[in-house]
Structure 1
Amino acid sequence: MAWILVAPVLIIRLLTSLYPMIMTVVYSLLDYNLIHQTKEFVGLNNFKQMLSDFSLHTTLSFTFIFTLISIILHIVIGVALGLLLNVQFRGKKFLRSIVLIPWALPVIVAGIASTWMFNKDYGMVNDLLFRLVGIKLDWLVAPFSARIAVILTDVWKSAPFFSILILSGLQSIEHEVYESARIDGASKWKTFWYITIPHILRLIVVLTIFFSLWRLTTFELIYAMTQGGPGNATSLLSYIIYTETFKNLNLGYASSISVVLCLFMVIIALLGYTVIKRLRY
C-alpha cells in the first residue's frame, strides 16, 4: 500500500529527473548536431574534443575561480553579517529585512543593474572610485576587471541569504554556553573560536556545498552582465552549455559538457558529505 501511495510521485520524478539525465548521457556519446543534420554514435569523441577545446579550458578555469572566490567571500561576509544581525540593538528587525533585498531581486534584474553600476562613464562604482582615488576603470571590457565585477555582483546578490541562514544557526546556540564561558574568563575571540564556530561549522559546511553547486550552475548573471565576454573571459560551464545547445545547436557536445559539470557537482557533494560525517557537532 505504501508503494502504491508514493508511486505517482516516483513516476513523476523518474520522468522529470532520471529520464533527462539518462538521455543527456546518451546524447554525449553522439555526434548530434541539428545544423549538420547528424545523429551518429561517436563514443567518447565529444569528451576527447573537450581536451583540445582551449575556449572550454578558459571556461573551466574561470568556473573554478568564480566558485572558489565566491564561496570564500560568502563564508567570510555571511558569518560576519550573521554575527552583526545576532547582536541586540534597536532597529535589528528593520536591518534584517533590508539585508535580504539584494537576494530578493531576480538574478536577471541584478545582472542588468550591475552593467549600469560598473559602466565606465556613468556607473556608480566608477563614480565612487573617482571620488576616492581619482581613477575610472573599464570594468566589463578588460577580462580581469570583468571577472571581478561578476564575482562581486554574485556575492552582493547571494551573501545576504547566506548570512540569514548563518543567523538561524547562531540563534540555536544556548545562551547559557556563552554565560559559562564569560564566567570562566574567556575572551570574546576565544568565545567566538571555541564556541560559536564549532556550533555553526556543520551549517557552514552544508551551506558551502549547496552554494558551491549553485555557483557551478550560475547562468542568468553571466547572461545578463557579460554574455561570457570579453571574449570568453567570464564564461561559465552553464553558459557554454547554453551556447552550444541553443546557438550552435550542437546537442552532443553540449551534453558531454553537461555530464562533466554533473560529475563536478557529484564530487563536491561527496566531499562535503565526508566532511560532515567527521564533524563532532
Structure 2
Amino acid sequence: MQVAKVSKKRWLPWIMILPVILIRGITTVYPVFMTFINSFRNLNVIQGGKGEFIGLQNYARMLSDEKIATSLGFTLIFTMVSMIFHIILGIVLALILNMKFKGKKFLRTIVLIPWAMPMIVAGRAARWGFNGQYGFVNDLIGRFVENFHYDWLIDVDSARIAVIIVDLWKDIPYFAILVLAALQYISGDIYEAAKIDGANAVRAFFSITLPNIAKTVLSISIFFTMWRVTNFELVYAMTSGGPHDGTAVLAYKILIEAFNNLNLGYASAIAVVLFVIMLILSGLNVAVSKKYLK
C-alpha cells in the first residue's frame, strides 16, 4: 500500500505539468520538426509544388543564390558592428547615468523611451526620418552643412549605416540600464581607496569598473547578439530589405520567401540554416557562461 502511494506521488508532478508540456510541444517542438521536414520538400505554391520530397535541392539552391549570400553577409555585418557599438556606447551611457547630478532619475526614465517603442514603429519613423526629400536627418545636418542633401535609403552602404544607427538608438538604452545595474554593486569605498593611492579616473575605470562589470557585459552581449541575428522587424519597416536586397537579413528573407513568394520549402531551408546559426551561438553561450560567468 505504501509503495502505491509513493508511486502516485512520483507521477503527480508530471500529471500537473502535462498541459504545459503539451502546449509547449504543439507550439514549439512540432513547428520546428515540420520546418526541418519541409526544407526537403517542394512547397512552392506558385509553381504548383505538392510537397514531394526533393532532397537537398533547397539547400543547393541557397549555395548559388546571390541574394542569400548578400543577406548572410549583411546579417554578420549588422550583428558585429551593432554589438561593438552596443558595448562601447552602452557602457559610456551607463557611466553617465551612474554620475551624481540633478535630474538623474528623470534622465534614467526618459532614456528608456526609444527601447519602449515597438520596433515596427521605430522602423517606420526612421524611414520617414531618413527620407532624402523631407526627412529630419537631412534637415538637421543641413543646419550645419549648407545645401546638404543625401538619399540615405537609395545607396546600399548608407542604407546599411542608417539601419545600424536606428538599431543602436533603439536598444542601447536598455543595454545601458542593465550595465548600470552592475555598476550599482561596486562599492564607492574602492574608488576612494584608489583615489588615495593616486589613481585617476581612467586608471580607476580600467582597474576597477571594467573588471567588475565584465561578466555582466559579456552575458547580456551574448543575448543581444542572438536578438540581432533573428531581428527582421526593423528592416521590414524601414527599408523592406532594399536597395537591391542590400539590407535584407536572413530572418527577413524567410518572411519574403514564405509569405511573398509562397515558397515554403525554400523558406524552411533558410530557417534551418538560421536555426543552426542560433544553435552554434547557444553553444558558445553555454561554453562562455561556464568558463567566465561562474
Q: TM-score of the superposition, structure 1-length normalised?
A: 0.95
Report matched runs for 1:105-184 at 5 Å: 105-134=117-146, 135-184=148-197
Residue 61 (structure 1) aligns with: 73
Structure 2, unpaired ranges of 5+: 1-11
Alignment partner, residue 222 of structure 2: 209
Identity of aligned residues (%): 51
- DSSP-derived class of the 1:173 partner: coil
| Worse-superposed segment, 166-175 or 19-28 | 166-175
Quote the residue 2:108 is aligned against: 96
Which deviations, in whole Å up to 9, do the C-alpha atoms of 1:106-143 show, x marking residues without a partner?
A: 11111111112111122111112222233221101111
> In the alignment, residue 290 of structure 2 is paired with which amino acid?
K
The 10-residue stretch of structure 1 (68-77 or 4-13) with the greater mean CA deviation from structure 2:
4-13
Q: Report if the CA contact (8 A) 1:205-1:272 is conserved.
A: no
Shift of 1:280: 6.5
- Whether 1:248 aligns to 2:232 is no
Shift of 1:176: 2.8
Other-structure match for 1:74:
86
Equivalent residues of 1:58, 1:233 under 8 A apart: yes
Alignment partner of 2:207 out of 178, 194, 198: 194
Query: What corresponds to 1:16 in structure 2?
Result: 27
| Partner residue in 1 for 2:286 | 273
Mapped to 2, the partners of 1:231 and 1:71 lie a distance apart of 25
Unaligned runs of 5+ in 1: none
192-201 vs 240-249, which deviates more? 192-201
User: Could you tell me how far apart the structure 1 residues matched to 2:47 and 2:130 are?
Assistant: 40
Runs of 4+, deviation exceeding 6 Å? none
Task: Show the counterpart of 2:7.
Answer: none
Counterparts of 1:205 and 1:270, CA distance in 2: 15
Q: Report the RMSD for the aligned CA atoms in angstroms.
A: 1.4
> Number of matched residues?
281
Equivalent residue of 2:43, what SS?
strand
Contact 1:28–1:252 under 8 Å retained in 2: yes
Gap change, CA 1:141 and 1:65, over 3 Å in 2? same
Aligned 8 A contact 1:103 1:161 in 2: yes
Shift of 1:69: 0.7
Q: Please say which structure displays the higher CA radius of gyration.
A: 2
Q: Distance in 2 between matches of 1:173 and 1:59?
A: 42
Q: Identify if the C-alpha distance between structure 1 residues 178 and 273 changes in structure 2 by more than 3 Å, giving closer, same or farther.
A: farther
Which residue identity does 1:249 align to in structure 2?
L
Q: Quick one: distance in 1 between partners of 2:207 and 2:23?
A: 46
Change (3 A) 1:18 1:280: closer
Instruction: Pick from 211, 219, 225 the counterpart of residue 232 of structure 2.
Output: 219
